[in-house]
Chain A
Amino acid sequence: MKYKKYETQAYNIHLIKTDKFKTISVKINLKKIFNKEDITFRNMLINILLDSTKDYPNRRLLEIKTEELYNLGYSGGNYNSGEYSVMSIDGSFLHEKYTEPGMNEASLQFLFDCLLRPNVIDKEFESNSFKKAYNVLKEDITSFEDNYYRYSNARMLEEMGKGDKSSYRSVGYLEDLDKITPQNLYQYYEETLRKNLIDIFIIGDIDEAQIKKIILDNFTIKTAKKATKEHFLNHTKFRRRLKTVKEEKHINQSYLSMGFKLEKLTNFEREYVGSIYSYILGGGADSKLFKNVREKNSLCYSISSSLSGISSGMIITAGISSNSFNKTVKLIKEEVKKMEKGEFDELDIEKAKITYLASLKQLVDSPFAIINLYVAHQYMGYDLLDDRTKNILMVNRDMILKLAKKVHPDTIFLLEGGSEDEKDTSL
């Protein structure tokens, strides 16, 4: 595998050459330091860009074109990553040696056109296409509550950090959606191309010179820009007493989401110690939470923890029956406390490391996983493969204990289902 980076004034090109795959995979990322209104704008924008283009003015024609390009796959979305919102367009297509000559260029051009040749008439997005993108997003926002895990986590984050970036719903907001018009969305689009930091990642059995030329010829953005702010979110305020919020719903199961804030993480903790800590606590089927809450007490069907070094937070989610809320929370708190007290052993650490190393090996089998490695390197300065393999082995018990002391329980959200008579009212 050979990696090369080229910087033009307006964007970076990252080329990863490998003969492992029969496909060529592409990721175009645009990132900006965001505020709440950006989220809905950016969701609208990605919806409309992937629904039609100048040459293929509706979704149907766009999809027919992808079938002609030997079923080229494309998708897109936005995600919040620390201080930044990242808009991504992903594409993957067969290398032309498996299809017909000219397909590499045609496929890349198709993907670039999604971003650079939008369905715009007189400086506004075409109205029918706008309406459809609007409808999809409106429905996504309205039906957000129908996925109970996602909803519970989002509500918990809202209660935990009112007004913080981490509390924003990534799906967007109806009140912001109503402010968007075909005109101002086009202005937003122009500004996005002008000001966002753009990175293009391409992996496959590529001829670097050829691919570079295709990009420079077709990806014609000229505005220069520079990265500014650090990527990570940090917390400074911590709650003394855990905050509990409950909401009722006519469903069978209850959904519990518990949020934690992490204090002053070092970069090594974000990248390595955090993964080991979270794996031991709630990473898999042999984790402390799974063993002691699910298996021993059969309190829930699922339970897991996930720690984000980027936003300095941790979430524990569980699907439970309503009458076991108090007992489940008590056990979760106990398990988190036990981590702080050091009630885990060398074998736990060893298992976590083995899993981490195995996942690194698996990661290089997937083109998009490799791309994501380079994305993390570019955005957060995270290590690449060889350094990761070395550094994870340096994590030790003391480091985990030190991290465990930085974990502050903050907020519990319960989406409460079940029948009236089985509800836990003792709180």
Chain B
Amino acid sequence: MKKTPLYKLDLDLYYEKLDNGLEVYIVPKHNINDIYVTYSTKYGSIHNEFIPLGEKKMVKVPDGIAHFLEHKVFEQADGLDVFDFFSQRGSDLNANTSNFKTTYLFSGPDFYEENLNFLMDFVQEPYFNDKNIKKEQGIIEQEINMSNDNPYRKLYEGLYYNSFYKHPIKIPIIGTLKSINSINKEHLYQCYHTFYHPSNMFIVITGNIDPEKTIDIINKNQNKRKVEPSAGIKIKKYDEPDKVVKKSEIIEMDVTVPKAGILFKINFDKLKYLSLKKISNYIIYLCNLKLGTVSLLNEELRDEEIVKDNLNIDVSFVDKYAVLSVIADTDNPKELFKRIRKTLKSIMITEEEWSRFKKIIISNNIRMSDNIFSLNNRIMNDIIKYNEVTINELKDVEEYTIEEMNYVIQNISFENDTTLIINPSK
């Protein structure tokens, strides 16, 4: 097991890669009671065209299948209720599916060894049949209906749908009523065997635990199972153009206040010589600086009553694109879009603004180290996004410079955007 101190955070990261390919990351934290365990596969909603394990040809599976599969993994051959197992031990079990990964998780201060073993067991021994698939289709149908009632979710989904041509990020994680109903047992097993292979999975554990003992438990558990070696998974790559699919759209919903969103598709390919971590930190800071609560624009928009509350900002990263979405309730979406575009057209950063950047990074990292949930999430996201855990951020922050920030500003553009307005239906 490899032990690395997390720089300036009074914590150590333990790492081991097992013989079957499963990777384990552990950060013990002994001054608290709780334990948080996450078990993830690098498989999310966007991985729906691939070559299945043991086959040669690329296949396309129905949209929303990763999330569907997540629900179905809880189904066991002996009919055992997985949730009961954890709740009888005072622990919370859950799972979630994002665009990039699927995670099964539990937290609880007691029955650690039993819980950890059972988490691995149930995820590795699911049972699909036509009857339980039919039932799940009913439940997910309601989930889709509920999310269709949520205007903010509709805004995000619509913006992504109108921005991307080919990349499956354009499809909601949950899929559509049609795609969900076309899922069958064979699809599920095909995806499961390909993506739930140990070499495509990782465990992250944070909290009050002993790392040596933990590795022992995991090793014993994994040795029980024989797995076919995997030569790595071939997933379809998409050659996505910089332009958006549709410049604007207006829809109607049963809402009281109109809602508007604008999404910028930002190609950062020109920044190649910087690490993705740096690019990501710089772009997120810039967006908050120019559009967030500390920005002049946000204050002006509220002064002029173009928006009533603060702008809602989200930045995510998809292949070579940073995707910035800005959402607000507004009666004057045209003016809002105009002002956001104008602000992003000429960005400058002052020394004073720069000095706050480092304080924020320091604060975010130290706070994160206080909370086993943030810590665990950060490690998972690092693995998915950067393929490594960024343990030295408090040291790295010394290498960030305003010149580099300006280099980023000069080499990204905010010219490709799409807008969406939700008006109250009559």
Give residues in A with beta carbon < 8 Å to B: 19-23, 58-60, 63-64, 67-68, 70-71, 94, 98-99, 128, 131-132, 135-136, 138-139, 142-143, 145-146, 148, 249-253, 284-286, 294, 298, 300-301, 319-321, 347, 351, 354-355, 357-359, 361-362, 364-365, 417
Contact = CB atoms under 8 A, between A and B. Distances in A.
Contacts of A319: 142, 146
A358 B109 contact: yes
Contacts of B93: 285
B294 A362 contact: no
A253 B305 CA distance: 33
A60 B298 contact: yes
Contacts of B138: 298
Interface of B: 31-34, 81, 83-84, 87-93, 107-110, 135, 138-139, 142-143, 145-146, 148-149, 151, 254-257, 292-296, 298-299, 302-303, 305, 308-310, 329, 356, 359-360, 362-364, 366-367, 369-370, 372, 425
B34 A361 contact: yes
16 contacts: A22-B370, A60-B295, A99-B363, A142-B257, A146-B255, A146-B257, A249-B254, A251-B254, A252-B145, A284-B87, A286-B87, A301-B142, A320-B142, A321-B142, A355-B90, A358-B109
A42 to B, nearest CB: 18
Contacts of A252: 145-146, 148-149
A319 to B, nearest CB: 6
A142 B366 contact: no
Centre residue among A128, A135, A284, A362 by max chain B CB count within 10 A: A362
Nearest to A362: B34
B342 to A, nearest CB: 18
A128 B303 contact: yes
Contacts of A59: 293, 298-299, 302, 310
A256 B218 CA distance: 44
A67 B359 contact: yes
A132 B305 CA distance: 8
Contacts of A64: 294, 356
Contacts of B90: 354-355, 357-359
A252 to B, nearest CB: 4
A207 B387 CA distance: 42
Contacts of A138: 308
A22 B369 contact: yes
Contacts of A143: 255-257, 329
A327 to B, nearest CB: 14
A143 B255 CA distance: 8
Contacts of B33: 361-362, 364-365
Contacts of B34: 361-362, 365
Contact of A58 (B83, B89, B299, B329): B299
8 closest residue pairs by CB, A with B: A358-B90, A252-B145, A71-B363, A285-B83, A135-B308, A301-B142, A354-B90, A361-B33
Which of B254, B298, B329, B425 has the most chain A CB atoms closer than 10 A to its own CB? B254
Contact of B366 (A22, A284, A358): A22
Nearest to B364: A71
Given A284-B87, A300-B142, A365-B34, A358 B308 contact: no
Contacts of B143: 301
A23 B370 contact: yes
Given A60-B296, A146-B151, A365 B257 contact: no
Contact of B88 (A98, A128, A351, A359): A351
Contacts of A94: 362-363, 366-367
A271 B338 CA distance: 55
Contact of B309 (A21, A136, A351): A136
Contact of A286 (B81, B108, B109, B298): B81
B398 to A, nearest CB: 16
A252 B149 CA distance: 6
Contact of B87 (A19, A300, A355, A417): A355
A135 B145 CA distance: 31
Contacts of B145: 252-253, 321
Contacts of A294: 139
A32 B298 CA distance: 34
A253 B89 CA distance: 34
B359 A71 contact: yes
A21 B370 contact: yes
B256 A146 contact: yes
A250 B425 contact: yes
B293 A60 contact: yes
Contacts of A285: 83-84, 87, 93
B284 to A, nearest CB: 13
Contacts of A132: 302-303, 308
Contacts of B367: 22-23, 71, 94
Given A298-B138, A298-B139, A68 B31 contact: no
Nearest to A134: B308
Nearest to B87: A286
Contacts of B359: 67-68, 70-71, 99
Contacts of B108: 358, 362
Given A60-B293, A142-B257, A362-B34, A286 B142 contact: no
Nearest to B142: A301
Given A139-B309, A139-B329, A145 B142 contact: no
B151 A362 contact: no
A71 B33 CA distance: 27
A359 B366 CA distance: 25
Given A22-B370, A321-B145, 4 more contacts: A59-B299, A285-B84, A286-B87, A354-B88
Contacts of B369: 22
B149 A417 contact: yes
Given A60-B296, A361-B34, A139 B257 contact: yes
A70 B363 contact: yes
A128 B305 CA distance: 11
B302 to A, nearest CB: 5
A148 B303 contact: no
Contact of B149 (A60, A68, A148, A321): A148
B110 to A, nearest CB: 6
Nearest to B83: A285
A136 B81 CA distance: 45
Most B C-beta atoms less than 10 A away, residue of A60, A94, A351: A60
Given A252-B148, A284-B87, A361 B109 contact: yes
B293 A63 contact: yes
Contacts of A145: 256
A68 B149 CA distance: 40
A60 B362 CA distance: 21
Contacts of B364: 71
Nearest to B295: A60
A124 B25 CA distance: 56
Nearest to B257: A143
Contact of A60 (B91, B294, B305): B294
Q: Which of B88, B294, B360 has the most CB of A within 10 A?
A: B294
Contacts of B309: 135-136, 139
A174 B349 CA distance: 42
A215 to B, nearest CB: 23
Nearest to A68: B356
Nearest to A347: B88
B216 to A, nearest CB: 24
Contacts of A251: 149, 254
A398 B305 CA distance: 59
A265 to B, nearest CB: 25
B149 A139 contact: no
Contacts of A365: 32-34, 372
